[in-house]
Structure formats: structure tokens, C-alpha cells
Amino acid sequence: MRIATTIFLTDRTVSPVRLARSLEERGFAGLYLPEHTHIPVSRESAAPMGGELPEMYGRTLDPFVALGQAAAVTERLHLGTGITLVAQHDPIDLAKQIATLDHLSGGRFTLGIGYGWNVEEAADHGVEWGTRRELVRDRMALMRALWAPEPTAYVGEFSSVQASSAHPKPVQAPRELGPGVPLYGPRTLVGGQAGPKLFTAIADHADGWLPIGGGGLTESLPVLRRFWETAGRDPKSLQVVPYAVRPTPGKMGHYADLGIEEVVLQLPSAPEPEVLRALDEFAQYL
């Protein structure tokens, strides 16, 4: 299995440059970064892990800027978001950021996307919570139109773009959504909890799933595969990447038995010495 990592990089942690170099030197496969633009202090949304929300959520670095630094000082390290809150972005601007990062990194970018959990944060971006899934689908379709090799217009429920010259294009080759239907852009994985809505979205416009925490895959994977194949997708092309995993030998062995090819391990949001100690501990899984 390829072993990648994720971390809440902040203004108080190891820097993107130091971390990226350390990961590549040690043979780790990738670095994925989360996203929060801000955390309203009057927040009513429950923290996803329960209890008080850790300070790192409100101090998170912009993932695209940080990954740009990481790309500049590495040659092989794969780079990803875990996750990009697509509903909180202008899709034309986001399409440019993604294509630029994929271009400058030589096709090393993975776009992890999701729907978020913080209602107040999304509201400040003008997002109607009840339609955020439809909004994300719409914005992904618009971005794929801009990533297409020829100028392609898109008119959706929430947004539209004229047929346009839009370069650079993502480096990664298109895949098939179905016979003769290309999927343009970088590898795209959808994060979230197992369920019909999520699995429908994955089969509709992504390359696979980022199951947060990596639990329950024995039960969930057969269900996802049914959604995938019902949508006419190639069974061999589905990618499942357990994300933000706190590893044990038993857990990693279980993933291998399930045919998982990549796992993303959770690093502490901490200064460089503590992060490097964690990398040394994770080296047993390489």
C-alpha cells in the first residue's frame, strides 16, 4: 500500500516546506491538507469529533498555497486536499487554482472534496445548507467544462460559464464516467460518511471515496461497489482511500486484505520535532 499523510498545518506547526521534504526523504507517498476559511466564534454546529473544537480548525493554512510550496520542493510526493469545501468557492477561480497546481506539480494533485459540517462557516459564503450537495455537483460540472480540451460552455442550476479559453489544463488524463463520457480533471475523491447520497455522488462525478477515519469498510465497500457498477462505471477503476487513519498493524493488515492500495495517516498538528517523531513511528508501515 502507498502510505500518505494528512495534517492540520497552521501558523504554529511545522512548515509545508519542511514537512514535504521530510515526507519525500522518508518515502511517504503523499500529503493531504484540510480546509477551513474561518470558524465563526458563535458557532452552533457540533464539532465532528464531539466536545470542544480544537484551535487548529481556526488556524488552518490555505491548502492550495501550502501545497504549492510543497510541490516546489519535491519531485515525487503526491499532493491532495482532504477536503476542499467546493461549495465555499467560486468555481471558475477554483478550477484555475486546481489546474495550476496540477500543472506545476506535474500531475501530482488529488482533489478531495466534501460538503462540510460547519453551517455557520458555509453561511458566510452564501451557501444554503439544504442544497449544498446539489451546489457541489453543479460546481464540479462547471469546472470539468473549463478543464475540457476544447472550449465548452456549461449552464447549471446554480452557475454557468461561457465556452472559454482556460489554461493551463490539468495534467492528468481523462477517465471514463461511462462509455464515451470523459471525466476531466485531477483524480477526485469524495469525503464523507457512507450512505446512498454520498455513494450516488461518488459514482456520478468522482474517482472514489475518502472514508474519514477508515472504519466500517467491510460493510460499506460492497454497497459502494453496487452503486458504482449500477452507474455504469468500470469496477476496476473505483478507488477507496481511508483517510485520517490512526494506524495499528491490525488495521493496516485489514485494509490490505480488502485490496486497499493507499491509506492516509493522521499526523499531529504540532511543531516539527513532534511531527518528525510521528513520521518515524509511521515508518513501520512503509
Over residues 109-151, the pLDDT tens digits come to: 999 999 999 999 999 999 999 999 999 999 999 999 999 999 9
Backbone dihedral angles phi then psi of residue 138, each to the nearest 5 degrees: -65, -45
Q: What is the pLDDT of residue 141?
A: 97
CATH number of the domain within which 84 lies? 3.20.20.30
Residue 44 has pLDDT above 90, yes or no: no
Backbone dihedral angles phi then psi of residue 24, each to the nearest 5 degrees: -65, -40
User: What are the DSSP calls for 138-165, one per residue?
Assistant: HHHHHHHHHHSSS---EE-SS-EE-S--
Instruction: Give per-residue pLDDT as tens, 173-204.
Output: 999 998 889 999 999 999 999 999 999 999 99
- 278: pLDDT confidence band, cut at 50, 70 and 90? very high
Structural domain count, the chain: 1
Q: What is the pLDDT of residue 180?
A: 86
Q: What is the pLDDT of residue 134?
A: 98
- Burial tier of 15 (Cβ tally within 10 Å: 0-12, 13-18, 19+): middle
Alpha-carbon Rg for the chain in angstroms? 18
Structural domain of 148: 12-271+280-285
Cell of 17: 516546506
> Counting every residue, how long is the chain?
286
Structural domain contains residue 31: yes
The neighbouring-strand residues paired with 264 are: 4
Structural domain contains residue 178: yes
Which distant-in-sequence residues (6+ apart) come within 8 Å of 125 by Cβ? 37, 87, 88
Q: What is the pLDDT of residue 72?
A: 98
Structural domain contains residue 214: yes
Structural domain contains residue 4: no
Residue 187 CA to residue 112 CA, distance in Å, equals: 8
Nearest to 72 by CA among 100, 46, 47, 92: 100
Structural domain contains residue 129: yes
List alpha helices for the chain, DSSP H.
16-26, 63-72, 91-104, 119-124, 132-147, 196-205, 217-230, 249-257, 272-282
Residue 53 CA to residue 50 CA, distance in Å, equals: 8
- 257: pLDDT confidence band, cut at 50, 70 and 90? very high
- 242: pLDDT confidence band, cut at 50, 70 and 90? very high
Instruction: Give per-residue pLDDT as tens, 146-170.
Output: 999 999 999 999 999 999 999 999 9
Structural domain contains residue 101: yes
Structural domain contains residue 5: no
Structural domain contains residue 1: no
Residue 224 has pLDDT above 90, yes or no: yes
CA 260 to each of CA 49, 99, 135: distance values in angstroms, whole numbers, following the listed order:
25, 27, 30
- Burial tier of 69 (Cβ tally within 10 Å: 0-12, 13-18, 19+): middle
* Over residues 224-244, mean pLDDT: 97
Mean model confidence pLDDT for the chain: 97
